[in-house]
Structure formats: structure tokens, C-alpha cells
Amino acid sequence: MWWILFGLILIISLFTFAIVSIRSGIFIKSITQSPFNTGILTFDDGPHPVYTPLILDLLDQYQIKAIFFCIGKNADAHPEIVRRIAESGHLIGNHTFYHSIRSTFYGWKKYLSEINTTTVLLEKITGKKVLYYRPPFGITNPSIAKAIRKSGLVTMAWNIRTFDTLAKDPHRPIRKIEKYWNPHSIILLHDRLNVTVDILQYLLENGLIKQSPIFESQGNGISEDK
């Protein structure tokens, strides 16, 4: 009987790993590293009325482009910031409308509806096509995967997770980025936090991030920095 119990535990463990590890690609394939010779900064959960503009100021100052995965309800509340993101040459991705943990338990049709509602909103605000999607908390499952495929969006994950949402100061996230940064990095940060502003300022002031991917003017994706 022990081997049956062991088998069940193993199956449950593998399924749980597949759900919480977007990089595993078990349910849906994702972009997990920058395909070009320069890393990519990505920011989730915005726009935030205070911190997103500060982050945009820093990126503009150092002429670095990034991808902002916006939550629909926040974009609806602050469309002027979304427009500024797009007009500054950054890409805007879809991060669902509500960013609720409850969405993990949605059927694929309800989940797809939330993705599509956000895509329509972001494209209406910016006039540019949304191509990329990042699920809240990086969670996927068969229903979520089906919804993403139906949406036509490309899932983008990351390979450096800074855990800035848990940081009391910028030092630990900075050390992690310094340790793992390479030309194929996709860094996960959040533009709703003051600590993230400090992290970004350090990275830019100290020259860790010098090159920027060039995003096509039509907002249709990533081009290699020449």
C-alpha cells in the first residue's frame, strides 16, 4: 500500500508544481528568457498613480524600455498613465482585469472573458495591439492555459523573480539581480511599490542595465537592439 500512497503524493506534488511554476511550461509554453542580447525589465500590477510615473521618469532618463503588465481595473482608473507608458515607447501587456486569486478556480470561458475585457480596454486607451499576457501570481492550470490560447496572446514569464513585493528594503532584490543578471534575463518587478523605485534607481545609476530592447513603433513586439 505504501507505493500507492507514494504515487499519489508524487502525482499531487507534480501537479502542484505545474500550477505554481509558469516556467515549467507543463500547461502552456511561455517566453522564459529574452531572445535578444539584452535583458528585459518587466513591471506587474500597475499602473499605480504614484510609483508608476516615478519609474517612467527613471526609464526615460536612462532611455531604457520595459514591458508593463497592467491590471485592467488599474488601467481603467488611470488611463493617462497607461497612455504615457505607451507614448514613452514601452510595451503594455495584459495582467487580467482584477488580479484575483479566485481567478485560479475560474472555468476557461470566465477566465477568457477577463483577459479579453482587459485587452480591449488597453488597446482602446493606447491604440496599440496587446500581444503579451502574464497570469497573476504566475499560476497556470488546464483551464487557464485554454483561455490564454483562445485569447491569442503570448504568455511571458521571467527568469529573475526579485520578490520585491516581500522586500522591506532594496538590498536583497538588488543582490539577486546582480547575481543572476545576464543578456537573456527577464526581470520581474512591480510598479506599485516604493522599494521598486529604489531598486530600479540603483540598477540604472550603477550601470547594471545599460542596453534596452527596441520595441517596434507599432507596438507589435520586440526587436533586437542594434
Cα Rg of the chain, angstroms: 18
What is the reported pLDDT for 89?
95
Dump pLDDT digits (tens) for 44-99: 999 999 999 999 999 999 999 999 999 999 999 999 999 999 999 999 999 999 99
For the four alpha carbons of 43, 92, 28 and 36, in that order, the dihedral sign comes to negative
Q: Does residue 223 sit within a domain? A: no
Q: Which helix (H) or strand (E) holds 25?
A: none
Tell me how far CA of residue 25 lies from CA of 21, 70, 91, 99, 173, in angstroms: 8, 22, 23, 21, 25
Residue type, 157: A
Average confidence score pLDDT of the chain: 88
The Cα–Cα gap between 132 and 215 comes to 13
What is the reported pLDDT for 218?
39
Options 44, 45, 164, 198, the catalytic residue = 44
Confidence of residue 36 (pLDDT cuts 50, 70, 90): confident
Options 90, 190, 191, 198, the catalytic residue = 190
For the four alpha carbons of 105, 22, 148 and 29, in that order, the dihedral sign comes to negative
Residue 196: Cβ within 10 Å count: 27
SS3 assignment for 104-116: HHCCHHHHHHHHH
* Strand, coil or helix: 34: coil
Q: Does residue 150 sit within a domain? A: yes
Strand pairing category for 222-223 and 214-215:
antiparallel
Q: Does residue 219 sit within a domain? A: no
Residue in 36, 23, 157, 41 with CA at minimum distance from that of residue 91: 41
What is the reported pLDDT for 13?
43
- pLDDT (average), residues 184-204: 97
Dump pLDDT digits (tens) for 121-152: 999 999 999 999 999 999 999 999 999 999 99
* Strand, coil or helix: 70: strand
What is the reported pLDDT for 189?
99
Tell me the CATH number at 199: 3.20.20.370
Dump pLDDT digits (tens) for 214-224: 776 434 455 54
Residue tagged 487557464 (cell numbers): 144
Lowest average pLDDT, out of 26-35, 90-99, 189-198, goes to 26-35
Is this structure's pTM higher than 0.85?
Answer: yes
* 198 catalytically annotated: no
Burial of 172 (0-12, 13-18, 19+ CB in 10 A): middle
What is the reported pLDDT for 35?
80
Q: Give the range of the structural domain holding residue 43, as residue numbers without chain letter.
A: 2-213
Q: Which helix (H) or strand (E) holds 164?
A: none
Confidence of residue 37 (pLDDT cuts 50, 70, 90): confident
Are 72 and 217 contacting, i.e. CB atoms less than 8 angstroms apart?
no
Q: Does residue 76 sit within a domain? A: yes
Dump pLDDT digits (tens) for 14-26: 434 344 457 666 8
Q: Does residue 52 sit within a domain? A: yes
Q: What is the DSSP letter of 213?
A: P
* 44 catalytically annotated: yes
Residue 185 phi, psi (nearest 5): -75, 145
Q: Does residue 99 sit within a domain? A: yes
Q: Does residue 138 sit within a domain? A: yes
Q: Structural domain tally of the chain? A: 1
Q: Does residue 218 sit within a domain? A: no
Measured in Å, how far apart are the chain's first and last C-alpha atoms? 61
Are 213 and 225 contacting, i.e. CB atoms less than 8 angstroms apart?
yes
